[in-house]
Structure 1
Amino acid sequence: MLLAVTAGCSAAEGSSEVPSVPPTPSIVLPQTPSVVKPATDCVHSTEALPPESQADGVVLTASTDPSHTSLLLKNTGSMSVIVMPDASFTSRLITAPYANPTDQASRSALIAVNNSGGLAGVLDIPAFMPKSQVITLPPLWAVCVLTDNLKEIATARYLQDKPTSAQYFMTKALADQLLVKSGAATTQPTLIKCAKGTVDAIKTHPALADIEQYVAVLGAGSPCRNSYQALLHSDPDAADQLASTVLNELQSMPRLQASSDLVTTRART
């Protein structure tokens, strides 16, 4: 009996084996699927698309986001382009300040074009189209096209417009000179007047060469000339010098191209 007790104690206290502990089961939390939402701007439109170039002088660099509900169009061509939503209005246009020029001359020139009333003569713009949805894109300017429906692809229409191109070239060349002498607020009415004069010159003398039309806008007695000469303290010699400088800049601008038909572009090839 003594041997039995001793053996029992030896088995309990002298064993080197450690009882195994069952592993604790890992807890796997279910992953919440990411919710895809329509784009609210074109900041994330980094997926490059083939450029648009369906008309002379037109090159629109295009990019979209993974949902294809945004379409960033940047004018990298030589002519101004007018952009509007698709015919079914499944998309809308908003500004893209992060992709646009920031210098005051470019901004003042576009403001003048937008306030000149020149788009009233563009027959391809539907009469019921809201003004905020007709965007003029001079070279280097951009616009963001959005659709609020994931089932729709961001879609827009565009055309190359000759008068708008001439207006921007004219007002940009003038702004480069006048903003050195006067502030933007003082200069803006003159730029608008000269933008209007540019459209009138093209309508009145459509067969004239580009530079001859520019001369007509800047020439003595024209509303444009009277306006910028007034900014120069009515000094005719200073006005002559400014006109000469502006014409030299305009001579280096691309030749104007005829207006084109409407073309549709989408955020997917």
Structure 2
Amino acid sequence: MAVRGRAVVLRAVVVCAALVVGGCSAAEGSSVPSGDPSIAVPTSDPSIVVPSGGPSVVVPPSAASPTGAEPAKDCKQSTVPLPAESETDGVELTVSTDPSRTSLLLKNTGSLTVIVVPDADFTSRLVAAPYANPKDQASRAALIAVNNSGGAAAVRAVPAYVPPAQVITLPPLWAICALTDDAKMTASVRYFQDRPSSAEYFVAKALADLLLVNHSSDRTRPALIRCAKSTLSVLKTHPGMSDIELYVEILGPRAACQAAYKALLGGSQAAAEQLGNSVLGRLAGAPRLLANSRIFSTAAQS
């Protein structure tokens, strides 16, 4: 009974702290500290960040880890495979843990972006897993753009009390690590598929693949962030558009995105249109965008 009481108090402290950070209001999403615009949460990896907002799903009670086991410090030893998570279309998470079950490594091997948050009781925390993430510049640049687009503030499927730094955007091929600091607790998380984040990443990644051939990451970053923001704006204005119509609108002359990459091309309209057509060609082969899924839970249990 005393343990349960302490857990309730701990959760209350976490919730109060989150409310203080958010000014006792709904979470504002993953804001980026002033200075380096590539900084994202939750650790030193500048590519990882998150959206927020919705209904909590209770994770099953944690199972005790082997006697004498210490909680994992990271997910590098998470080599024990668990059943893949594929509760809904477009989502597949390859999941593994360590012998103590206090770590949970999730790698997005599906076709769409998912948002990952801690379990409802905050028994686990999320940290970056750079050793399991893509190393190419374009993937990194695309995620940085999504992380800094402000889209996190519009996500409604995460409770307002979840700290922004613990709401993680996980595009295809990216990974995240969940850890519990108590050897008797099993690592666990919640996740859902998010349509706007998928669209943002697809657009930013297709642009980054082409722009980074002739331009540095620092020069392309503002344009990619602007295009990610433009993607959110077009989605909000035209929620019923088909995927290809959506991409045409995002890259067209009426959207802010084209102006952003046109500046990188010396202001040439012909060059901007040629680049836009090349990007559209890539996006034509992108996975089909789907409506947001409900929130699911998973834990480091067989």
Alpha-carbon separation, structure 2, partners of 1:55 and 1:163: 17
Give yes or no for the alignment of 1:208 onto 2:267: no
Q: Distance in 2 between matches of 1:152 and 1:215?
A: 48
Which deviations, in whole Å up to 9, do the C-alpha atoms of 1:86-128 show, x marking residues without a partner? 1110000000001000000000000000000112111112222
Question: What does 1:46-57 align with in structure 2 at a 5 Å threshold?
Answer: 46-57=79-90
CA RMSD, aligned part only? 1.0
Counterpart in 2 of 1:158?
191
2:142 corresponds to which of 91, 101, 109: 109
For the residues of structure 2 that align with 1:55 and 1:136, how far apart are their CA atoms?
17
Distance 2:164 2:154 in 1: 14
Partners of 1:111 and 1:126 in 2: CA distance? 24
Task: Give the counterpart of 2:128 among 71, 81, 95.
Answer: 95
Is 1:86 aligned with 2:119? Answer: yes
Counterpart among 141, 162, 187 of residue 220 in structure 2: 187
Partners of 1:193 and 1:125 in 2: CA distance: 25
Q: Which amino acid aligns with 1:267?
A: A
SS at match of 1:63: strand
Shift of 1:36: 1.7
Q: Write out per-residue CA displacement over residues 187-233 of structure 1, whole angstroms, 9 at most, x where no aligned residue.
A: 00100000011111111111110011111111013211111000000
Paired position in structure 2 for 1:266? 299
Q: C-alpha separation between the residues in 2 aligned to 1:146 and 1:190? A: 35
Number of matched pairs: 236
Query: Deviation per CA, 1:130-189, whole angstroms, max 9, x where unpaired?
Result: 222111110000000000111111000000000000000000000011111210011001
Aligned match of 2:78: 45
**TM-score, with normalisation over the residues of structure 1?**
0.86
SS of residue paired to 2:213: helix
Shift of 1:35: 4.3
The residue type paired with residue 227 of structure 1 is A
Output the CA distance in 2 between the equivalents of 1:116 and 1:59: 25
Q: Deviations over 1:1-39 (max 9, x none)?
A: xxxxxxxxxxxxxxxxxxxxxxxxxxxxxxxxx942000
Task: Give me the whole-angstrom Cα distance separating, in 2, the residues matched to 1:124 and 1:206.
Answer: 17
Find the partner of 1:172 among 201, 205, 208. 205
Q: Which amino acid aligns with 1:235?
A: S
One-letter code of the match for 1:106?
A: S
Unaligned runs of 5+ in 2: 1-66
**How far apart in 2 are the matches of 1:210 and 1:220?**
18
Using the alignment, how far apart are the partners of 1:101 and 1:263 within structure 2? 25
Partner of 2:164: 131
